[in-house]
Amino acid sequence: MKKTLILLALATTTTVAFAGDHAYGPFPAAYVEECASCHVAYPPQLLTAPGWQAMMNSLDKHYGVDASLEAKRRAAIADFLQRNASRRDKHAAPAQPPRMTQTAWFRKEHGPLPAKATKALPAAAQCESCHTAAERGDYNESGLRLPAGYRKKEG
């Protein structure tokens, strides 16, 4: 009985973001377990379906590391990502391998951020360096702490 309730709860937590809000979590346990050990669990809503698909089909060559998963687990996570993926062009990755940090949306919102961490700035993909609640999928402004080296983009 208890188990059923937990499963139901997971099934209903996949599309919690609503207009004007930048909280994308909580994420399903499998996604956190498999995709948040090397970096935060990135919000599925910030990349389009083809990007997630290309990524999930090449986990053995994941940005220089092997992030392979057992087939069933991989399929479940791929399904979660597909169902919550963005449908907007501004969230499409312009190159392979797909990165949400290279989408038109990301670059407009953030201005220039380095791909690799520097003394002054974290790498663009280290969301948690600036968004202190990124681990929970929360990117609201209240959790924003900017490094001294960050200069807000013009306009």
What part of residues 10-49 is at the interface with ligand HEC (CB under 6 A)?
22, 34-35, 37-39, 42-43, 46
What angle (nearest 5°) sits at the alpha carbon of residue 125, between those of residues 149 and 129?
Answer: 50
In a 10 Å sphere around its CB, with 0-12 CB exposed, 13-18 middle and 19+ buried, how is residue 55 labelled? buried
Instruction: Count CB neighbours of 41 within 10 A.
Output: 22
Give the range of 2-10, 11-19, 84-92, 144-152 binding ligand HEC by CB under 6 A: 144-152
Given the structure tokens 């346990």, which residue do they identify? Answer: 29
Q: Which residues, 64 to 103, sit near ligand HEC by CB under 6 A?
A: 65, 67, 77, 99-101
Q: 77 or 92, CB closer to ligand HEC?
A: 77
Q: Count the residues in the chain.
A: 155
Taking CB under 6 A as the binding criterion, the range among 8-16, 82-90, 123-131 that sits at the site for ligand HEC is 123-131
Q: How far is the CB of 40 from ligand HEC (least distance, A)?
A: 7
